[in-house]
A and B are shown apart, each in its own frame.
Chain A
């Protein structure tokens, strides 16, 4: 009937499944400890949120001038990082790079977790979260805020489907191989595999569905982050009033997303023992992707800062002076150099595109990406058009409070919880696709060639 029935394929499937399904368990000590830690820490942060809920936003550092602080910076960061799902599976996948197959699902997991939490982060910035339904009841289609709510929801749905559809054949394969796991897991796999029997007709339907999703997610992902940038760029405020904010944000999103993916890949490779599937070759390739997106982002940075800095319009000058030489100078230059320029230079060296160096570089890039959002969101608000007069000193300089920081930490913890749950309950690598392709053989061949060339 189909090539899915021949013996060679079945042997390969067994081999891949045994490796990929090994970490799918939730009753081992390591998992319970890790999940316990996440939940306790998350609960502690939720307590901080309960204080904010009771007393209002006054417990944060947000005041009349800086009314968008850490929360909104964090929101932009989460939306940005979630874009990696689109970058890997669509931009690279649609073009036809076969090597993205083993990393595509990891990218989708990151996309799901970060897009889901991005929506919640916005609620943490609301003084009256009970008024959230008003967005839908009284929302104006002219407002980028409504566009943002719409596209974040849509992107989350698309990411979830893009993760789930390719998972169906794997669930069908795995449902009989779950000995020693809780019974509900096998039951869930049975239901979620939708009677998958590896028939060609089913593969045809699945391919159509995935194809539609891959095409849909490209404009949606571009919309989600462009609209997020418009929340800023649609105002005349110096520092936000920029016509390149859309591409500037998108290119920055690819940088933070790729670094997040590399961190996750390194983690899964080490802890889940996926060395055979997340090979040096994949790291080498993604190291190049990180280099490429970083250099594009550097180009946009050059435009974003050099163009106004050459003209030095009155308010731009005050803003840029604060960034270049003023009170944000240390933060600004460490982010621009440590998170962008130096990684670009290091990534040029072949030896640095190995898993461990890439993991370390990505940690720096990831942290710098968060701080960069802070630099984009906070400093422009300190220089309003009307003069700042007769106001309390605490309104002048924004400094996040402990409660605010804890609530921000909660968002990161929640994203980690989602990633942990998804990656412990379901296979992280595409079992069937890996078995289908000659991918493993290819990689062995390629790594062999690489070793010979040294």
Chain B
């Protein structure tokens, strides 16, 4: 009886796990998009979705998500649509188990664009969005961010200023992070920083940090506290990296290269080997002709001596 109970419980275990759900902290549930979902945001969101989400979740509405535990689910179904915007935003940002965190891979705007795309599969959805607040800490002001390389070229200096028609003040104690674009997604540079009393912060650039062929690096500065400062990023290109000329792996002669770029030694060994063996084979074939000539000569001149053959 006990054993049966255990088996039953074990059977229920994954169900219990699943039914536990994925709770979003109460303060994040109500988070709203800073912009209104439009056709434009949907198109951007679709592109981002296909790149980042499709591999597990499949095409929305097609139920062609992959077979994992827990199931990723089709985003067009109620499984995902019953979440509030804030809940989806939280889940995409933090991730859980096989679902990765997209905190550094996507900007907040990117995630909102994806949510905009997902909501287009829900006819009942009516968007409530946050009226544009440029900064709760500096009401009425626009925040200006400037990024510069320092003289030693080993740090990116960030300057934050709040500008309103009346005053210009430094933004102090603002949590910020700097991301750099790499081949696969955005990579944090240095640790998260807080702006000082003059609105400055410095991010150290690691030694040998690679830029493009001109040394340019694409940076994105974001606030860690988006509730306070809004979900926007300052994207800019700075010549902060080392000049990197991409080296083709198939540039030099190598075993893995095509036949025109085969190592010399193997080209020589192979072709000389084949040529010499087949050269000898043809030499031997010509011996047949010699045998024939000798035979024909003796046929026509029976009784001739050997010396005359040569």
Contacts and interface: CB of A to CB of B under 8 A. Distances in A.
Interface stretch (A25-33, A121-129, A203-211): A203-211
A352 B69 CA distance: 65
A150 B274 contact: yes
Contact of B262 (A141, A150, A157, A165): A141
A154 B284 contact: no
A196 B281 contact: no
A388 to B, nearest CB: 15
Nearest to A165: B284
- Give the one of B271, B277, B292, B298 with max A CB within 10 A: B277
Contact of A140 (B262, B277, B285, B298): B262
A213 B284 CA distance: 8
Interface size class of A (residues with CB under 8 A): 20 to 34
Contacts of B270: 141, 147, 150
Given A141-B266, A142-B266, A213-B284, A201 B294 contact: yes
A378 interface: no
A212 B283 contact: yes
B266 A209 contact: no
B296 A195 contact: yes
B19 interface: no
A206 B295 CA distance: 13
Contacts of A37: none
Contacts of A220: 277
- Give the one of B266, B283, B287, B309 with max A CB within 10 A: B287
Contact of B277 (A139, A154, A194): A154
B6 interface: no
Interface string B181-192: 000000000000
Contacts of A138: 259
B288 interface: yes
A362 to B, nearest CB: 32
Contact of B290 (A140, A165, A200, A205): A205
A205 B288 CA distance: 9
Nearest to B256: A142
B280 interface: yes
A150 B272 CA distance: 13
A209 B288 CA distance: 9
B279 to A, nearest CB: 10
Contact of A157 (B258, B259, B281, B292): B281
B278 interface: yes
B267 interface: yes
A205 B281 contact: no
A212 B296 CA distance: 24
B263 interface: yes
A201 B309 contact: yes
A195 B277 CA distance: 27
Contacts of A213: 284
Contacts of B255: 142
A41 interface: no
A195 B292 contact: yes
Nearest to B271: A141
B27 interface: no
Contacts of A205: 287, 290-291, 294
A147 B273 CA distance: 11
Interface string A390-405: 1000000000000000
Nearest to A206: B291
B298 A142 contact: no
A358 interface: no
Contacts of B281: 154, 157-158, 161, 216
Contacts of B306: 200-201
B291 A140 contact: no
A202 B309 CA distance: 11
A194 B290 CA distance: 9
Interface in B22-47: none
Nearest to B254: A142
Contacts of B277: 154, 216, 220
A209 B287 contact: yes
Interface of A: 138-142, 147, 150, 154, 157-158, 161, 165, 168, 194-197, 199-202, 205-206, 208-209, 212-213, 216, 220, 390
Q: Which 3 A-B pairs have the closest CB atoms?
A: A195-B295, A209-B287, A194-B292
Given A140-B262, A154-B278, A205-B294, 17 more contacts: A138-B259, A140-B259, A141-B267, A141-B270, A142-B256, A142-B259, A158-B281, A161-B281, A165-B284, A195-B291, A197-B294, A197-B298, A199-B295, A199-B298, A202-B295, A209-B284, A212-B284
21 contacts: A139-B259, A140-B262, A141-B259, A141-B262, A141-B267, A142-B266, A147-B270, A150-B270, A154-B277, A154-B278, A157-B281, A195-B292, A195-B295, A197-B294, A197-B298, A199-B294, A199-B298, A201-B294, A205-B290, A209-B287, A216-B277
